[in-house]
Amino acid sequence: MLRRKPSRIEVKADDKEEMEEARRRRTSNPRPSPNPNPNPNPLQKYLDPSTLDAAAKAQRIGLHQA
């Protein structure tokens, strides 16, 4: 099978300056988090034993009394 020559990327001096400027801007202005929720797992409330309510759990799984 024939192999092609590797691609070659040529960078000019002004391209390098533009790239460095973009890097500086990116590091000086970090993007805000898309999810401002401090808890990354929305199901954590069901796993945290301190928030478990026996009546709510029984109702969720269908054991509530009529």
Q: What is the structure's pLDDT at 19? A: 87
Q: What is the structure's pLDDT at 63? A: 81
Q: What is the structure's pLDDT at 50? A: 65
- The full DSSP string for 14-47 is HHHHHHHHHHHHHHHSPPPPS---S-S-TTHHHH
Is the confidence at residue 66, as pLDDT, over 60? Answer: no
Q: What tens digit of pLDDT does each residue of 15-58 get?
A: 888 989 988 988 887 666 666 666 667 777 667 666 667 777 78
Q: What is the structure's pLDDT at 2? A: 87
